[in-house]
Chains A and B, each alone.
Chain A
Amino acid sequence: MKNAVAVTGMGMITAIGDDVTQNYHSLFQKQHGIKTLQHISGKHQHQTLVGEVAWTNAELVEKLGAEVPKNSSRTSLLAAIAAREALSQAGITVTEDMPIVMGTSVGGMDIFEQHFPHLLQDNQLIQRRDVGDSSRVLAQVLGSNSLVTSISTACSSAANAIAFGARLVLSGRADRVLVGGSDALSRFTINGFDSLMLLSDELNRPFDANRSGLNLGEGAGFLVLESIESLKKAAKPILGYLSGFSNANDAFHQTSTSEHGEGAYLAMKQALASAALTPQAIDYINAHGTATENNDRTEATAIVRLFEDQIPPFSSTKAYTGHTLGASAGIEAIYALLALQHQLAFANLRFENAMDRPSLEPIADHQPAVIRHVLSNSFGFGGNCSTLIFSHEQSLY
């Protein structure tokens, strides 16, 4: 595994918990976090089902207990909470020289749209809209003076941010990096997915024959990645390894995926090659599984193409959190690491009936198993398909 980097910290906030422990507890108890929208006024408030973080922005600032710039986006606040937890677990107090790579789809749209088009004569609000502003605020809160950058490739953003962070480490440009993703719910994305008729008015049911679309969610998930070489000098607990990563393009359509899931197939195949693993080595797949007709059918098709008749247990955890867009791969990276840590493949909630073509069943209940390698998928608009592979702490040596 020449491409492996160690994970030494993880932190998150989602609709099912304010930290990693709470998230694991909710997963374990099969408690989802999908409720009607509370924080965003307008047509969708108290109507549309979403995986919303319960806290208001003011409460998030209070939780953070840090000085934050005026009108900081919710995206940056969620990111800061998750990032703080990850750094604390990795025992990192000095962040000055630590690069930050953040994935997000719409950045500070949540705060910008509240004032558009009347921006309160506030120049800063214009800036808030820039995707890179949320990561800039995050770096400011954390006190990083190193490279700070953002990747915005829709729903695979965080996976690509994690992979780029790994490249910074593998190339020797950094000993450790903070990587992940954050996206707040916004009127912009809720109405966007609504206009595409992709929102379900029921609780989402990934991979079910009767699935009727997705529920949006919000949150953040961040990891600390460190070089194996530098950990040899200063040992600390390793939570698992990022052992493979890949990104490929479906090159089929801006929003829908090709019939045979070509991009998804290529991403999974290339990630396995980068980890030097065969498909048989994968013990659990945390699928993208948005519960839209198109995604689940084509993702399942790609899984069948690659794994043939030896399909590992797979599930989508979006039934718990909703689809958190640019943050999803950061959040689900942590679920993959929790699956390794607890040797447990998570139940795909609300699964009842298998799809027709392909006929493929996710695990309907939690499944204790020997889990050494977990594959995590994230696919986005623009044909953007990314796969990460996480491996058990004892799998390398």
Chain B
Amino acid sequence: MNKVYINAASICVATPDQQDAADNWLKVDLPKITHKLLSPNATRRMSKAVKMGIFCSLEAVNHLDPATLDGILVGSSKGCLIDSDKFLQSIVEQQEEFLSPTPFIQSTHNTVAGQIALLIKNQGYNMTYSQGRISFESAVLDAYIQLTMNERNTLLVGAVEELSAISIKVSSSFDETASPQQTTGISQSEGAGFFIFSNQQDQHTRAELTDISIYSATTKLSSEAQLLAFVKKNKVSIEQIDAIIYGSKNTENPFDAISTSFNKTRIINYQLQIGCFDTDIVFALDLALKLLYNQTLVQKSSPIENGSSSYQNILICNFGEQNSLMLLSGC
């Protein structure tokens, strides 16, 4: 079985400064995309999800010979929400008459993956997963299986979520008491992250993705039991895990309920920094890659003290309706 490496990463999320000042909804400042492949005309028609996806993808494939990219996998829970909302609203307001097809065309969940393929002329595998908070991990699992089984060698794997003004309005119009800020203290946000996964190591390799698992915690098999079994299966002891980076759908710290096994492990929740969106785990992956590659992280408002400890194994956990575990190791 081949190993899986992550050779490039690019993310686009809100900054901690924004989070400090934000209300319930935290929008990402879109970076300016200047690229020889993109005319200003082309970007004008793109929705924010597509733009964020394109921005991160172009950065991630920067060092790559385009001919070696075997496919594009995207996870998105809500897909192209802005265009979908726009089309829904036009159906209501125009009573199904004289509708412009553009928002419908762009509302399709796989628009981002399709547009990236179109832009970089990639005729390879093109997949879009949509399953709540494990949308990105579904794409990662697919890529992991194909790379380990040598079906494909190099894949662009990412995720994207966008906020939509119409959806915010609809959500805000009722249930004021349960607005996200008040329930979790974390703003609803948006963002994207794209990574190059390959079964070949290269000079840019950041880390190895040792394994991934998606599971439901059941009464028979708790989160803790699953976590310990996963680590054990990968021949790593809990003491060898240098950090756990986690995201969660809920406010309560999932590790409070977990035994003392992790007492000595550094545990980081990243959502306080960037707000939350369904595929915000891309930030955790990027953070883990930085820790493993640079060994320390010097960053303003970082939740991590700049210690001298070295990082070799990092576990990324996502807790929601389904949970996920990703084990990363330094190369």
Contacts and interface: CB of A to CB of B under 8 A. Distances in A.
A249 B128 CA distance: 12
B110 A168 contact: no
Interface stretch (B131-139, B190-198, B268-276, B298-306): B131-139
B123 A248 contact: yes
Main secondary structure of the interface of B (DSSP, over half): mixed
Contact of B114 (A42, A44, A148, A254): A254
A117 B178 contact: no
Interface stretch (B10-18, B84-92, B285-293): B84-92
Nearest to A101: B138
Contacts of B216: 145-146, 148
A116 B110 contact: no
Contact of A123 (B91, B149, B178): B178
Contact of B110 (A132, A147, A170, A384): A384
Nearest to A168: B145
A164 interface: yes
Contacts of A188: 87-88, 91, 104
A286 to B, nearest CB: 22
A69 B246 CA distance: 30
B114 A381 contact: yes
A150 B126 contact: no
A149 B100 contact: no
A381 B129 contact: no
A159 to B, nearest CB: 11
Interface in B283-329: 321-322
Given A130-B77, A145-B216, A152-B128, A249 B96 contact: no
Contact of B79 (A43, A96, A131, A194): A131
B130 A384 contact: no
Interface string A180-202: 00000001100110111000000
Nearest to A155: B108
Interface stretch (B21-29, B167-175, B227-235): B167-175
Given A123-B175, A126-B171, A145-B218, A117 B122 contact: no
B101 A196 contact: yes
B131 A135 contact: yes
A305 interface: no
B264 interface: no
A250 B169 CA distance: 37
Nearest to B148: A171
B91 A249 contact: no
B130 A152 contact: yes
Interface in A108-156: 113, 116-117, 119, 121, 123, 126, 130-133, 135-136, 145-154
Contacts of A136: 131-132, 321
A115 to B, nearest CB: 10
Contacts of B215: 146-147
Contacts of B64: none
A154 B128 CA distance: 10
B281 interface: no
Given A116-B88, A131-B79, A383-B117, A247 B110 contact: no
A51 interface: no
A117 B174 contact: no
Q: What bracket does the count of chain B residues touching chain A fall in?
A: 35 or more
Contacts of A168: 145
A150 B175 contact: no
Nearest to A253: B118
Nearest to B104: A192
Nearest to A121: B174
Contacts of B101: 192, 195-196
A28 B303 CA distance: 66
A173 B118 contact: no
B96 A187 contact: yes
A153 B117 CA distance: 13
Contacts of A167: 142, 145-146, 149, 151
Contacts of B173: 117
B51 interface: no
A113 B131 CA distance: 20
A105 B109 CA distance: 7
B105 A381 contact: yes
A282 to B, nearest CB: 22
Interface in B199-225: 214-216, 218
Contacts of B125: 247-249
Nearest to A131: B130
A134 B109 CA distance: 15
B321 A255 contact: no
A382 B128 CA distance: 11
B110 A154 contact: yes
A23 interface: no
Nearest to A383: B114
B78 interface: yes
A263 interface: yes
A382 B79 contact: no
B166 interface: yes
Nearest to A194: B99
A387 to B, nearest CB: 13
B251 interface: no
A253 to B, nearest CB: 7
A152 B122 contact: no
Given A196-B101, A247-B127, A255-B105, A384 B87 contact: no
Contact of B118 (A131, A150, A252): A252
B113 interface: yes
Interface string B133-167: 01100100110011011010000000000000010
B185 interface: no
A-B residue pairs, 5 tightest by C-beta: A382-B114, A152-B109, A192-B104, A132-B131, A131-B130
5 contacts: A42-B96, A119-B174, A149-B129, A254-B115, A383-B117
Given A105-B109, A187-B96, 11 more contacts: A133-B132, A136-B131, A153-B128, A195-B99, A249-B114, A254-B115, A381-B110, A382-B114, A382-B115, A382-B128, A383-B117
Interface of A: 42-44, 96, 105, 107, 113, 116-117, 119, 121, 123, 126, 130-133, 135-136, 145-154, 160, 164, 167-168, 170-171, 173, 187-188, 191-192, 194-196, 247-255, 262-263, 266, 380-384
